[in-house]
Structure 1
Amino acid sequence: MPLHLPPAPAPALRSVLTALGSPTAVREARTPALRAAQGPVTPELPLPVHVLDHITATGGWATRLAGWRFLIRCDDRAVAAAETMLTPDGWAFSHFFEGPYVTSTERALRQAETTAQPHQPRLLSVPGLYMLTLWLHGDVTADGATGGPAPADLLVPLAPAPPGIASHRPHRVEELLPVLTRRVTRVRLMGSPAA
């Protein structure tokens, strides 16, 4: 298997396991698939979630670790995901969720397993474009919580992707970065709909 998952911090995993064991946390989650799951559910495939904080005028970008995401599996499929975040007291459970990014992440990971090149999977969020990508980092020994995308790394946009960017098609960072830079700059000039 060419995917080398970075180890999640033990407190992040413990917080998810605690939340899964809490009937209140599961019942109050806005995840009908998780509430309806028959049988045991387990957190799997921990992925560090990095956020693209800003793109510079020269086309560089700065990222930061925002949390760890675990796919919640029941039987043979992911029914939801659990997000953790870093607090002043350490890693803590944030929330459960479901939707297209859960199934899209699972699909992209399966696709990535068929590549010949080994990768370390991460997630990269581009909030300015409402976009999430599977980031396949080429250095499988790197600390998954640090560093930024290298030019030869691959980004696989997850569905739904912004118009004009194909979901589940791998792009080298050096190819996709200029497209993202132009789009984020244009959104900034026009004013973000979320602002």
Structure 2
Amino acid sequence: MPLHVPPAPAPALRSVLTALGSATAVREARIPALHSAQGPATPELPLPVHVLDRITPEGVSATRLAGWRFQIRRGESAVAAAETRLTPDGWVFSHFFEGPYVASTERALRQAESLPQPYQPRLLSLPGLYMLTLWLHGDLTDDGAGGHPAATDLLVPLAPAPPGIPAHVPHRVSDLLPVLTHRVTPVRLMGSPA
């Protein structure tokens, strides 16, 4: 099934296009793939980036929109990513980056396109675990900016994933969230105050 990619805010896209057109921004990124002259670099597949700030003892997740990430494509594959963030003055370009999450995101998106049910793709960052997942949201009417993971949504851990959590294996939120809750819950030491 095709994925239903939510449209990014127009100012976010404009900020990325401006950065791609800026020799200074591209040079400062220190990403060799952006410097090469193998055709134009184009921003594609805007994904809202949500951060999972906390998981309550009851298993309820609290997420917030942190930005929009664009895959920067040159030719047939993504060579980098560009991230935007929201400021009091609106959406602005944040930075370019490369690394394993670029290819891993592209792989997870291709994998998600083969699923029988349509989804809205998003990224969900779990800073406490140094983990990033492709969040496949089942409500296609959402604008991508709000919401929290529903029990039936899928999370696909991107590589590199934390030890014991296999990358590129889709998990229902209801199955993976308890594992994540256990991982981020501090362990009390014997004799420490309750």
TM, length-normalised to structure 2: 0.95
Contact 1:37–1:74, Cα closer than 8 Å, also in 2: no
Structure 2 equivalent of residue 63 of structure 1: 63
- The corresponding residue for 2:11 is 11
Shift of 1:2: 2.4
* Stretches of structure 1 lacking an aligned partner (at least 5 in a row): 191-195
How many pairs were matched up?
189
1:85 deviates by 0.1
Task: Find the residue that maps to 2:58 and give its secondary structure.
Answer: coil
Q: How much has 1:37 moved relative to structure 2? A: 4.8
Larger radius of gyration: 2
**1:110 — aligned with what?**
110
Pairwise CA distance, 1:57: 1.4
TM-score (norm: length of structure 1): 0.94
Q: Distance in 2 between matches of 1:2 and 1:34?
A: 29
Q: Which amino acid aligns with 1:127?
A: P
Matches within 5 A, 1:92-131: 92-131=92-131
Q: Which moved more, 1:157-166 or 1:26-35?
A: 26-35
Alignment of 1:40-189 (within 5 A): 40-186=40-186
- Helix, strand or coil at the partner of 1:101: helix
Quote the Cα distance in structure 2 between the aligned partners of 1:91 and 1:61: 25
Q: In the aligned structure 2, how far is the partner of 1:127 from the partner of 1:31?
A: 24
RMSD over equivalenced CA pairs, Å = 1.2
Q: Percent identity?
A: 79
Q: After the TM superposition, which parts of structure 1 deviate over 3 Å for at least 4 consecutive aligned residues? A: none
Q: Secondary structure at the match of 2:185?
A: helix
- Residue 192 of structure 2 is matched in structure 1 by none
Q: Structure 1 pair 161/37, CA: closer, same or farther in 2 (3 Å)?
A: farther
Q: How far 1:59 moved relative to its partner?
A: 1.2
